[in-house]
Amino acid sequence: MDLAIVIAVVVVALAFDYTNGFHDAANAIATSVSTRALTPRVALVLAAVMNFVGAFLGQKVAHTVSDVIVPPSGREGLVVVLAGLLGAIIWNLTTWYFGLPSSSSHALIGGLVGSAVVAGTTVHWSTIVDKVIIPMVISPLVGFALAFVVMLAILWIFRNRNAGKVTRGFRLAQTLSASAMALGHGLQDAQKTMGVIFLALITSGHLDPDTKDLPLWVIAAAAGAISLGTYSGGWRIMRTLGRKIIHLDPPHAFAAESVGATVLYATAFLWQAPVSTTHVITSAIMGSGATRRVSAVRWGMARSIISAWILTFPAAGAAAAVCFAILHPLLG
């Protein structure tokens, strides 16, 4: 029975990784598609490949995620992890249905915390504050401000150049910036699923708690699942990011993607924080677009997105709590 639950947790974790892929596919490529720098299918293939590669670039974020809660060993602990995953999936599918680019990362962590609180197990609140809450607030602000500054620099540097040539040049450059963004998404988001599987294997006794390196099959499975999800596409959210927030041209899109990728790399390698790729790229798009004029950003849609951000952590936690209440009597 315990082995069956371990397998179920791994399968559900990879299912979450898959939903993360199609939910967040728009993060890397919506701007490139909306500016016609890439066709939708080429953009999805590019994003899927770069997501797969990015997943192999580090493990620090995975270890942070695995340290968020300390579930009891054995079957009850596995139920806690399983319920957390299900809560995250429920919120992911809900926001995907309504086309809102919410955070899969915070849905996952919110789900784990909600499940752990109901189960009465340990939650490392200091890790939540230092590695989740503070980065959740800071990373979008940095993304907005940095994209604004980078776009101002681009406008100044190319102010006397031929507008048509500049647009064509940045349209080509978007292949690089979109690739960098997709690589950062794989680096950040695939690791979160790895961390949950790693946590489940430690909880079930299949790995020693002092193990430092994740098994290769865990990394490969998470990389494959998120890549397949990305290739499946996320057209609803792509329309929101590509058009409904602000209509971007290639220079603005390049600035947003480049800044988004930079923030993802910095938080993964330097801060070891599981930040939201959705938060980062959306705020960068707003910052880049705001250089035209503040009214160029469709702030009504932005408010809806921010509301989804705020709701994600508690909503996923509540869904996970309900899942635990249902599963515990059956499996615990």
Give the pLDDT confidence of 300-315 residue by residue, as tens digits.
Answer: 656 766 776 788 889 9
Let me know if residue 332 belongs to a domain: no
Give the angle subtended at the CA of 220 by the CAs of 216 and 223, to the nearest 5°: 140
pLDDT of 325 over the 60 cut: yes
Q: Is the dihedral of CA 99, 101, 106, 108 positive or negative?
A: positive
Closest CA to 253 of 30, 21, 23: 30
DSSP assignment of 138-165 equals: HHHHHHHHHHHHHHHHHHHHTTTS-HHH
* 139 vs 268: CA distance, rounded Å: 12
Q: Which residues in 117-151 are b (16+ Cβ under 10 Å) and which e?
A: bbbeeebbeebbeebbeebbeebbebbbebbbebb
Confidence grade of residue 21 (pLDDT, cut at 50, 70, 90) = confident
For residue 245, the model assigns a pLDDT of 47
Contact partners, residue 52, CB within 8 Å, separation at least 6: 186, 223, 224, 226, 227
Give the angle subtended at the CA of 203 by the CAs of 199 and 207, to the nearest 5°: 80
**Average pLDDT score over the chain:** 85
Question: Domain range spanning residue 197?
Answer: 2-325
Stretch 20-26: mean pLDDT: 72
* 242 vs 101: CA distance, rounded Å: 11
pLDDT of 240 over the 60 cut: no
- The answer to whether the beta carbons of residues 259 and 287 sit under 8 Å apart is yes
Tokens of 226: 């998120």
For residue 46, the model assigns a pLDDT of 86
For residue 247, the model assigns a pLDDT of 65
* 47 vs 90: CA distance, rounded Å: 24
Confidence grade of residue 242 (pLDDT, cut at 50, 70, 90) = very low
Let me know if residue 243 belongs to a domain: yes
Let me know if residue 28 belongs to a domain: yes
Of 165-179, 279-293, 295-309, where does the model show the most confidence?
Answer: 165-179
Burial class (CB in 10 A: 0-12, 13-18, 19+), 216: exposed
Give the pLDDT confidence of 56-83 residue by residue, as tens digits.
Answer: 998 899 999 989 999 888 888 999 999 9
Least confident of 7-11, 62-66, 168-172, 204-208: 204-208
Stretch 184-195: mean pLDDT: 90
- Report how far Cα 91 is from the mean position of its chain's Cα atoms: 13
Let me know if residue 330 belongs to a domain: no
**φ, ψ for residue 200 (rounded to 5)?**
-65, -40
Least confident of 2-11, 28-37, 237-246, 297-306: 237-246
Let me know if residue 331 belongs to a domain: no
Contact partners, residue 25, CB within 8 Å, separation at least 6: 44, 47, 229, 230, 231, 232, 233, 234, 237, 238
Closest CA to 54 of 176, 181, 229: 181
Domains in the chain, number? 1
For residue 10, the model assigns a pLDDT of 94
pLDDT of 298 over the 70 cut: no
* 306 vs 274: CA distance, rounded Å: 18
Q: Give the whole-number percent of the chain exceeding pLDDT 70.
A: 88
